Amino acid sequence: MGTYGRFPIALTRGRGCYVWDEQGRRYLDFVAGIATCTLGHAHPAMVAAVTEQIQTLHHVSNLYYVPEQGALAQWLVDHSCADQVFFCNSGAEANEGAIKLARKYAHVKRGIANPLIITAKASFHGRTLATVTATGQPKYQQNFDPLMPGFAYVPYNDIDALETAIAELDANTPQVAAIMLEALQGEGGVCPGDTAYFQRVRQLCDQKGILLILDEVQVGMGRTGTLWGFENLGIEPDIFTSAKGLGGGIPIGALLCKASCAVFEPGDHASTFGGNPLACQVGLTVCQTLEAENLLANVQQRGDQLRLGLQRLVQQYPDWLTEVRGWGLINGLVLHPEAPVKSVDIVKAAMAEALLLVPAGPQVVRFVPPLIVSADQVQQALLAVEKAVALTVKCAQNS
């Protein structure tokens, strides 16, 4: 339907942190399916898991117990603050489920007739009608109105604005059912959450009976150097969501919550494909490989290496670049607001240097390689992006 603004290459094969196009040219992949290919491409553990499961049982129905689903749910519960898990197919579906769960909780536990969910400006929560409404970016909502009722927006990392909004919305009768945030805003420009802010949000939620929902779709599954992004902030959510990296590229999403807010009953929510044996077996393999290969340590070390190299680039081009933001292996190179170039210009120049990057808005270049990336590959990426920036600057100066 022409919904994608595609770059002019067609990728046909991948292995590890590299992909190849139709002409056989190799690229270093620092997009990873947009923070999705946790173990890179054609990882032996994933290949074995897919092969064995597709030969055994790939899909049944949630009318029956699915052992692979139970095993993955158990791993996730054992490795998080959650007590229960619902499986779906994507991050948008997981966030949609979180919205439904929060609304039901507000009705049956708190007696709120018209529950409101507060989200952050510059957030991104998905493309369904409810999640695009939750997304605090008008550009994603344009021409899709009437949007879903029940959402309010505040600036990210601004505790005064949040407290004012809660006070105004709850002035006559309690309406705020949940606060839905990303621990680090990915699509919003790779903006990490402020620890003091999030800890105060947690306090407010506890004081007022408000649920805290954290969207971990992009930052979960080890991407930030901890298994979950919220671990960087020293808090626990009531509800959180996962997708992208959970299946390493095989579609799967998960809605996770504590027992205290697990109000779904039979018939409340469902999915035809969610939690099928194939997706869950691959998801469990990704989880187990994260542990077996000690990938969290690699994420921390390679993230430090990448940020240090990008910071040197900022120092080299102070009129063009302003800062480096991020945690672990989700990082953003921020362009100066007055620079006559956009993030996509650097992405295109990097592609010419056989490095794949992705924008996070018009002023941020995002670096989200597979979590298996090596020190040599990070250095290779830094050399390529240095050439890309130099070429972009030169072209802008000559135009």
Residues serving a catalytic function are 124, 215, 244
What is residue 262's three-state secondary structure?
coil
Nearest alpha-carbon partner for 240 in 250, 230, 248: 230
Write the single-letter amino acid at 292: A
What is residue 112's three-state secondary structure?
coil
Q: Could you please report the per-residue DSSP string of 313-362?
A: HHHH-TTTEEEEEEETTEEEEEEPTTSS--HHHHHHHHHHTTEE-EESST
Report yes or no: 280 and 59 within 8 Å, Cβ to Cβ: no
Token pair for 52: 């064995």
Alpha-carbon gap, residue 157 to 259, rounded angstroms: 28
| Beta strand spans in 138-242 (E) | 151-154, 176-182, 184-185, 191-192, 211-215, 239-242
Nearest alpha-carbon partner for 199 in 240, 234, 174, 149: 234
CA angle, residues 217, 221, 227, in degrees to nearest 5: 120
Asked if the bond preceding 115 is cis, omega within 30° of 0, the reply is no
Report yes or no: 183 and 232 within 8 Å, Cβ to Cβ: yes
Alpha-carbon gap, residue 201 to 24, rounded angstroms: 50
Report yes or no: 248 and 38 within 8 Å, Cβ to Cβ: yes
Q: Please count the CA atoms within 13 angstroms of the CA of 169 that sit on its side-chain side.
A: 25
